[in-house]
Amino acid sequence: MVFKKPLGWLLAGVVTLTGASALAEQSNEPLRVVTTFSILQDMAQMVGGERVEVTTLVAANEDAHVYQPRPSDSRTLAKADLVMENGLSFNGWVDRLLEASGYQGERVIATQGIEKITMASRDAHEEPDDHDHDHDHDHDHDHDQGHGSYDPHAWQSLVQAQVYVDNLLKGLIKVDPEGKAYYQQRAENYQAQMQELHSNLKARFDALPDDRRIVMTPHDAFGYLADAYGLTIVAPQGVSTASEPSASEMAALVRQIRDRKVTAVFMENIGDTRLVEQLQRETGAKLGGTLYSDALSSKEEEAGTYLEMLRHNLETLLSALEP
């Protein structure tokens, strides 16, 4: 099914061949939406449906932390009608790439308006009541490998992900007002699925004993999930996969896992698994399986969509933590 783009986009005057300007040549095509990584791609497709064609820059099973933009990315962005990015400095290369592409269209910042978690609160898991949820402006500076003041991995919360959908919905309606009712219905259905999954599994997390709530993951991508379900995360790489612990830090991690009686250690679908395997061997902690952090799996695998990814993560955690 093919939809025409709104005539309101065809503004009088000279139109440059960037962003929305390409509409003149694409009036019989779906909106071209570009997302920065695979999780956002699936969200955009779920809300946009047949009215959009979604392309992602960082593909499934690729690590967005260490991604190096390609020349083709700039060409892809130049043809886009809408760009969706995470925000909170998750992809430090985005601003430079958008500038190089000449894109001047609408940008959706997915994390706008979420309940942000500060990096300090993620570094102090033993003090879960000291979370500083700051709702001020996103200081989304351009860091190459690190993040700003806030944990950017908000999609790991099914509740915060509903804010992502709200922001995406606003962006789609702005560039395609004729599709408003269509997008609204799909967004509402999608958010209802998110809330149902969250509600169904939260009761099981609430029933976990206090001594079975500490887990280890390679990098700290699960802070929002931990907050939502009352878990504590130990993460040797911090919030970025670009860093590796030193020998002294590894020794400290082994002591921490033993002293705090970490219930299980988990691997991720991105990055090197040797770090977790070494810690598991040295501590004897239970190997809990693989979690999906910053990327979906291929469509043929167990986390090919956002909802499949969250269901897999939560069920995998529960299977390791439930007595």
In a domain, 197, yes or no: no
Q: What's the burial of 157, exposed, middle or buried (CB within 10 Å: 0-12/13-18/19+)? A: buried
Could you list the residue range(s) of the whole structural domain that residue 233 is in? Answer: 203-321
SS3 category, 286: strand
CB 224 within 8 A of CB 154: yes
User: Would you give the DSSP letter of residue 89?
Assistant: T
- Across the range 26-48, mean pLDDT stands at 92
Quick: pLDDT tens for 191-243: 999 999 999 999 999 999 999 999 988 878 999 999 999 999 888 765 454 55
Overall number of domains in the chain: 2
CA 52 to mean position of chain CA atoms:
20
Q: Which residue among 152, 171, 191 closes a domain?
A: 191
Q: Which residue among 169, 191, 213 closes a domain?
A: 191
Q: Which residue among 137, 167, 191 closes a domain?
A: 191
The verdict on 27 and 144 lying in the same domain is yes
Quick: pLDDT tens for 273-323: 787 788 888 888 888 999 999 999 999 999 999 999 999 999 999 999 999
**CA 164 to CA 155: how far, in whole Å?**
8
The verdict on 179 and 218 lying in the same domain is no
Backbone angles phi, psi at 171, to 5 degrees: -65, -45
**What mean pLDDT is reported for the chain?**
83
Instruction: Provide DSSP, 31-67.
Output: EEEEEEEHHHHHHHHHHHGGGEEEEEEE-TT--TTS-
Token representation of residue 49: 């449906």
Domain harbouring 140, CATH code: 3.40.50.1980
The verdict on 28 and 158 lying in the same domain is yes
The verdict on 161 and 26 lying in the same domain is yes
User: Would you give the DSSP letter of residue 116?
Assistant: B
Q: Is this prediction's pTM over 0.75? A: yes
The verdict on 46 and 187 lying in the same domain is yes
Quick: pLDDT tens for 248-276: 878 888 888 888 889 899 988 766 678 77
The verdict on 174 and 223 lying in the same domain is no
> How open is the CA angle 120-123-129, to the nearest 5 degrees?
70
The verdict on 112 and 257 lying in the same domain is no
**CA 260 to CA 123: how far, in whole Å?**
15
The verdict on 186 and 70 lying in the same domain is yes
The verdict on 45 and 93 lying in the same domain is yes
In a domain, 198, yes or no: no
Contacts of 65 by beta carbon, 8 Å cutoff, 6+ apart: 145, 219, 240, 241, 242, 294
The lowest-confidence range among 40-54, 127-141, 267-281 is 127-141
The verdict on 234 and 174 lying in the same domain is no
In a domain, 242, yes or no: yes
The verdict on 37 and 78 lying in the same domain is yes
